[in-house]
Amino acid sequence: MKIGLVDSGIGLLAAAAAVRRMRADADLVLASDPEGMPWGPRTPGDVAARALDCARAAAAHGPDVLVVACNTASVHALPALRAAFEPGLPVVGTVPAIKPAAARHRDVAIWATPATTGSGYQRGLIAEFGNGARITEVPCPGLADAVQHADADAVAAAVAAAAALTPSGVGAVVLGCTHYELVADRIAAALPGAVLYGSADAVAAQALRRVAPTPGGGTVEVVLSGRPAPLPAAALAYPQGAGLAVTAATA
């Protein structure tokens, strides 16, 4: 089987690594848009257009399912992607893990990009899945960009700033951007006692449910802004990327 993953940048590594943990033989196509990122500040139409371009680049490699491993693209592009590819190619989106966090904890924080924080989309998820929990929306300016560039100092500064905005004693923190899962250890260290909730495992499991479990070769193909490429150097700074590098191809 072959799984295609789409994101603006290396945030897709978390879901890709989760797929690999669940099915070591799955072939992966990683399609991102380094020339156009970040997607967060773009208009919804622009995000949809860029996500479609990435998805078409991934689809050219013949995946059995396409994962939109990006919260922003899932908000703005999922209907367009499903209209373009389904039913022939199933499309799986990413949703912040508010539901499981609020089911288990009374005090929850959602870390997200400034564009997502306070958005109608996120407020709708809170209304639907908040389960009566006290939920604090925490903007994390600069964190996704710092993760994308593997800038440890900038990551530390952005994590510290977001932690300062997070109420003390929260039981759970929802990671509302896929990039944040790559630095979950640093976020956990800044919020001792809080349980982190990401989306990667649930997204990977859903993608695998949508395809027949045929054996693959465990390969990785990388497409950056429409062109075959090696894994970005920044990806290798994270265990999720380093673990995929050994099977990454450039064509």
3-state secondary structure of 5: strand
CA distance from start to end of the chain: 18
3-state secondary structure of 193: coil
Beta bridge partners of 111: 138, 175
Q: Return the ∠ at Cα 156 (arms to 154 and 157), rounded to 5°.
A: 65
> b/e map of 109-125 (b: 16 or more CB within 10 Å)?
bbbbbebbbebebbeeb
Task: Report yes or no: 250 and 24 within 8 Å, Cβ to Cβ.
Answer: no
CA distance 69 to 108: 23
Active site amino acids = 70, 177
Task: Report yes or no: 50 and 109 within 8 Å, Cβ to Cβ.
Answer: no
Structure tokens at 139: 């903007």
Query: What is the β-pairing status of strands 220-224 and 227-228?
Result: antiparallel
Amino acid at 210: R
Whether a cis peptide bond, with omega within 30° of 0, leads into 239 is no
Length, in residues, of the chain? 251
Reported as type and span, the H/E element at residue 196 is strand 195-197
